[in-house]
Amino acid sequence: MRVEARQFRGHGFEEYDTGIFFNIPWVNPAKYRSATAEARQARESTERELENLRLETAGAVREQLSRIETFHHHYMLYRDRLLPLARQSVEAARAAYEGSRGGLLDLLTALRALRDTDAELQEHLADYLSALAELESIIGTDPEQRDGAPPIK
């Protein structure tokens, strides 16, 4: 329902209108059917887009988890096997040098190998932590909160 009034030159109402309006959708059914069909198509399109985004995100998470497992494996390999071997090599070269059975060059080579192995260990740790941070940006939460995350000790 609507009431309108118009006033001219500051005195009294010159004219006014009143009316009652009804919205009757069955008067123009084609218009409403096309609007309904358009809304349905928009919803279906949005649902397909959402499903594509879900699949894309799941693929990115799987790929990132694979990278994390690889970096974790490399870190553990260097920490548990290669670095102790490099330390043993240095100790053996030092003992040989001190006992006049080995040369200084052998000791320096073993020390350099130890330093390089330690540097690679730190690089693998940095790669692992970086991959965890990337996973956090993908999933939006801290990945350490999920069950089954490989811990670094």
Q: How far is CA 121 from each of CA 59, 74, 107, rounded to the nearest angstrom?
A: 29, 8, 21
Rg for the chain (alpha carbons), in Å? 37
User: What pLDDT is recorded for position 142?
Assistant: 76
Closest CA to 60 of 136, 149, 127: 136
Mean pLDDT, range 100-105, rounded to an integer: 89
User: What pLDDT is recorded for position 90?
Assistant: 95
User: What pLDDT is recorded for position 122?
Assistant: 96
In this structure, what token pair is assigned to residue 24? Answer: 């009757």
What is the rounded CA–CA span in Å between residue 44 and residue 7?
52
In this structure, what token pair is assigned to residue 71? Answer: 């970096």
What is the rounded CA–CA span in Å between residue 30 and residue 153?
69
- The string of pLDDT tens digits covering residues 34-68 is 888 999 999 999 999 999 999 999 999 999 999 99
Rounded to the nearest angstrom, the gap between the alpha carbon of residue 45 and the centroid of all alpha carbons in its chain is 25
User: What pLDDT is recorded for position 140?
Assistant: 80
Rounded to the nearest angstrom, the gap between the alpha carbon of residue 108 and the centroid of all alpha carbons in its chain is 44
- The string of pLDDT tens digits covering residues 115-147 is 999 999 999 999 999 999 999 988 887 766 655
> Has residue 151 got a pLDDT over 60?
no
The pair phi, psi for residue 17, each rounded to 5°, is -130, 145
